[in-house]
A and B are shown apart, each in its own frame.
Chain A
Amino acid sequence: MESRLVYMDHGATTPVRKEVFDYMAPFLQERYGNPSSLHTPGREVRQAVEEAREKTADALGANSDELYITAGGTESNNIALRGVAKKRGKPGHIITSSIEHHAVLDVCKDLEKEGHRVTYLPVDRYGRVDPAAVQDALEEDTFIISIMAANNEIGTLQPVREIGALARGKGVYFHTDAVQVVGQLPVDVNELNVDLLSLSAHKLNGPKGVGALYMRKGVKIDPLYRGGSQERKLRPGTENVPGIIGQGKAIELAVSEIPEKKKRLEHLRDRLIKGLINIGEVSLNGHPEERLPGNVNVSFKYIEGESVLLSLDMEGIAASSGSACSSGSLEPSHVLSAIGLDHSTAHGSVRFSLGYGNNEEDIDYVLEKTPPIVERLRSMSPTYRSR
């Protein structure tokens, strides 16, 4: 038996790179000082934390005093949306899309319960939000627009720059959940007209449990937590120092490698897409060109995603699915429904997300192992035989 592992679930999480691990390791033991302490061990750690903040801010074209460290993408989204709504202090209107991550959607649903009105914009069959629809949705009291930079399931890139410009023109805050994009594609908060941006370290070969919220100077926000002056009171609590240090290093490395990595991953991605479509009755979900460099999302007709995942896993291939059976909620993914997939096509969806470490041999291996799996499951399927 082969004990090969081909990890193709980088959209879920990524391994911490050796360089990142080595860089953060001393902060778990030798350099344990609290950055808020006045003594030397504390002050030294403070300096390292601020350097990491600078690296993270630099990667976004931001100033370091506009960068707030958080516990990850979900927390950044919560702080951004709830914090701005809290500061506003009265009900208003929010615009978002129907394909956001639950870390945005569920917050919006909560804000609705608190009296705010939310427009969930539809998307086209590729999963793109139309900037004109954003324009049309604007109301007198719209105070924030939140549209993800790229979709985590189908990889479709959103017209963030256009939406940002529109928001800027109307004086409405623009937030983007960019956890899938930072480190994959160039992101400049000024070019993109972004006021708030969420990112997460573990999606770019950094540690889990740490992320950041970029917030343009002047954005009016109230903190959700109380208890200390850390992160200029927006996110109080003793800093996750090793995480912050690791995040700074990971983002610095990831961003410096974007040109080379983008080219390499796009090549691998397109090879994998072509090979999977060659199996027959396999369709690509998401936009053919405007998509994340490492995202492959296909639907295998007549079969169900979870059974494909189980079979792939037995061959040492790690992927994910948006099928009802693998969602834990028995509903197909809201993203696949929003792009208009019928239930059975959504049911057969599988996502392979490529990243640092994947190579040509991995693609060869997946393209060798997948067709017999699909064939076997189709041979058991009543919908396949009865065509």
Chain B
Amino acid sequence: MYSEKVMDHFTNPRNVGELANADAVGETGSFKCGDTMKLYLKVKDERIEDIRFQTFGCGAAIASSSMLTEMVKGKTIDEAARVTNQDVADELGGLPPMKLHCSNLAADALQDAIADYKSKQRSV
């Protein structure tokens, strides 16, 4: 059902956990299935220097979260903002049709974190 890459990221997820003193936090829940995800960013000079995630969800949700963190770590905020859920699914070698929405969870959490970052920048 899942690709080897999905199983790899599910079994050995990258960047799991919380970030103390995160510069931005994104949080999202899937209306479809009830999964939730939290994403922490450490940003330096507009670049994502460090990233962590926490996910309550299925194998695809955990793998998508992990893959997303790998994809955007080191990217600038603007570059990261262009990453879509399809990009995440593609990087994972595809997801079963019923599980495509799981990659939305990760992409939405990222957008939420970026919005949090920008609003904090404005208020500084």
Interface residues, chain A, CB within 8 Å of chain B? Answer: 302-307, 310, 314, 323-326, 328, 330, 332, 343-344, 347, 379-386
Contacts and interface: CB of A to CB of B under 8 A. Distances in A.
B16 A325 contact: no
Interface string B6-44: 010011010011100000000100001111111000000
Interface stretch (B51-59, B78-86, B87-95, B116-124): B51-59
Contacts of B38: 382, 386
A330 B57 contact: no
Interface residues of B, number: 28
A112 B62 CA distance: 41
A304 B55 CA distance: 10
Nearest to B6: A310
A323 B59 CA distance: 12
A383 B58 contact: no
B56 A310 contact: no
B110 interface: no
Contacts of B60: 325
A328 B99 CA distance: 9
B61 interface: yes
Given A304-B56, A347-B56, A385-B18, 8 more contacts: A307-B61, A323-B58, A324-B32, A330-B33, A380-B13, A380-B62, A381-B54, A381-B56
A344 to B, nearest CB: 7
Interface string B95-107: 0001101000000
A264 B89 CA distance: 46
A303 B56 contact: yes
Given A307-B59, A307-B62, A325-B61, A382 B32 contact: no
A230 B106 CA distance: 57
Given A330-B33, A332-B34, A383-B36, A304 B58 contact: yes
Given A325-B57, A382-B55, A385-B18, A343 B34 contact: yes
Contact of B57 (A304, A384, A385): A304
A325 B11 contact: no
Nearest to B96: A328
A384 B58 CA distance: 15
Nearest to B27: A382
A155 B45 CA distance: 57
A310 B59 contact: yes
Contacts of A384: 56
Contacts of A304: 35, 56-58, 61
A382 B55 CA distance: 6
Contact of B34 (A314, A347, A382): A347
Given A379-B16, A380-B13, A302 B33 contact: no
Given A314-B11, A380-B13, A382-B27, A325 B56 contact: no
Nearest to B10: A310
Given A324-B33, A332-B34, A385-B18, A307 B57 contact: yes
A330 B58 contact: no
